[in-house]
Structure 1
């Protein structure tokens, strides 16, 4: 099938408004492997927009040359709802203003138990037949999801496009950060080449975060089923969240580099025909998510950092200070930001005016931190 663009209309939230999600399709429908990519689910995180725009150009050329072997779906703008939340030039696109509010990348529909109930008694000794069966049941469950609101419609649309894919790549970014990714423990080795191609040295290894995020939701069905059926039902889907550096790390050079990395990865996975890329993954290191220190502001004020993104830190080391502008004595108005883990300082908020108690910096550590709660590893 030649390159096609499909528009998916969301339920109209208010009189006279209508939003759409555009999906770019390459390859024959049903061809394998199938890879799904999206950007901007957090609508204030924009590097992925330009990266996927650049990747689409590469894929159009590959399509014209007949090199597409699998199926590729790209949604370059995944959250038109969040993008519309423009408040005097500022787009607070991480949280929904309507439909009960909440983080756009949390609390997605969990279908695992429903699929397992429908599957009961149908599993055979043919693992690939089982994968096809599970995918058909997932499609049935997706069709029954409600779309009474615009947000429900958006989630249903994105899941319908992605949940039968072999791989799902969800592109995000942090405030200020080095390239990194959140990867399920089961997929560390599978995605190591992708991290290497992107130049990510930090991978956060997770199991159950409790967030019910988009990438977790796409694999949660398979994780649920494998607990009962093990090898009879292999992984029918693998997903990860890629953090494309910081919010302002947007330029043609970065976009070209990252798009080429994604294109090479598609070659590696036999989705596109081409010469297999050479990969050096020796610099990719996985750190347990429950070993990640979220450094919190000890007071409200202006933050000044002593350490730079990408630098190593030691537990007890001061990585910066927050200046409390309300202190009477300016000579003692600086409060230290103290690392609680040995590791890599890889991300921080972009704002320099911070609120007391908020997490403003991230350190990837190697050892479990007692104050990190398994199943509740994301605070927002």
Structure 2
């Protein structure tokens, strides 16, 4: 048996408080392939908690049977800071209350230029040797990251756990949504089997969002180095963000279904021994992130949707309306939500009281939209 649990203590933010990250390790340290999973980086997105709990149960049985061939690290609760932000029974866990108040999944440390500086005199003609060289340099740079606040300590620990993995899978969810994922353009083919296993029909394909999110940060070093050395430095890490449907899509059935999909994926990648899963990826489609229409509320009020999630829409089609409760003329107080692209209506906010100008629905389109700016594709 190889199963171990390690607790990583974060810097104490205030006297008498202490938060920890628990990392579950399977397989021999250094074994390949190495996989990393985490859930709840946005601490108000909870489906992944139950999914990884179910996956841990499956992996413990696999470990007892001697089936773990690679290395697996799972952090089922990756943001104890956000979970502690309990405000009268509501946990607003997307943004930090302290350390500048930013989005927990934005502006992670970018190490590409620093790693390049470390290795540029040592790159060889052997790609395998170069991968080991880069991983060593990444580790050295990670150790230099500051950790004098609770949030910085959490980021440093999560990156130290994940950046040596061959694949990083970050579990999130949307307000109300179909299963979907955000995937780097370079990895569309690689992760298509995973999306198929999860039943995700929509993949949002991105190059650089400008967000410096957790999943992007794990591959940003390799992207930076490949721009200099091409094939001499292969991809040492691939990552994606999986959106596990909506906030309230939490059940034992969903958790078992999704955990089995992740377990089957580990078999597919040779991390766990077992019968190869049958995969039909014919329903998986990728849509450019810069073609995604963010439908905005035309006024403040109550939103009513006319179109169900998962349905195809056409540009100019009305998918819902917002009722302005302050209009004098109630007969004309409804304002339409109009799709600006052809595509799939796949996500929307859970709240029905919306703020004027906020993005409340997402449509995966196929053609670039002029008002979507490359490098600034996430609003929050």
TM bucket normalised to smaller: over 0.9
1:86 match: 86
Segments of structure 2 that go 5 or more residues without pairing to the other structure are: none
Equivalent position SS for 2:242: strand
Residue correspondence of structure 1 range 332-347 to structure 2 within 5 A: 332-347=332-347
Q: Quick check: 1:290 aligned with 2:290?
A: yes
Q: Which residue of 2 aligns with 1:97?
A: 97
Q: Helix, strand or coil for the counterpart of 1:117?
A: helix
Q: Equivalent residues in 2 for 1:1-380 (5 A)?
A: 2-380=2-380
Task: Report the Cα offset of residue 51 of structure 1.
Answer: 0.1
Aligned-pair distance for 1:120? 1.2
Give the secondary structure class of the aligned counterpart of 1:143. Answer: helix
- 1:78 and 1:309 map into 2 onto residues whose CA distance is 29
Distance of 2:100 and 2:305 partners within structure 1: 36
TM-score (norm 1): 1.00
Whole-Å Cα distance in 2 between the matches of residues 132 and 374 of structure 1? 32
| Backbone CA RMSD of aligned residues | 0.4
1:48 is paired with a residue of what secondary structure?
A: helix
TM-superposed CA distance for 1:2, in Å, is 1.4
Runs of 4+ with deviation above 3 angstroms: none
Matched residues, number? 380
Distance 1:199 1:119 in 2: 41
Q: TM-score scaled by structure 2?
A: 1.00
The one-character-per-residue Cα deviations of 1:53-90 (angstroms, maximum 9, x if unpaired) are 00000000000000000000000000000000000000
| Cα distance in 2, alignment partners of residues 378 and 144 from structure 1 | 29
Q: Secondary structure at the match of 1:370?
A: coil
Q: CA deviation at 1:151?
A: 0.2
Q: Secondary structure at the match of 2:63?
A: helix
Cα distance, 1:121 vs structure 2? 1.3
Q: Deviations over 1:85-131 (max 9, x none)?
A: 00000000000000111000000000000000011110011101100
SS of equivalent to 1:182:
strand
- Following the alignment from structure 2 to structure 1, what is the Cα–Cα distance between the partners of residues 104 and 87? 17
Partners of 2:137 and 2:42 in 1: how far apart?
A: 29
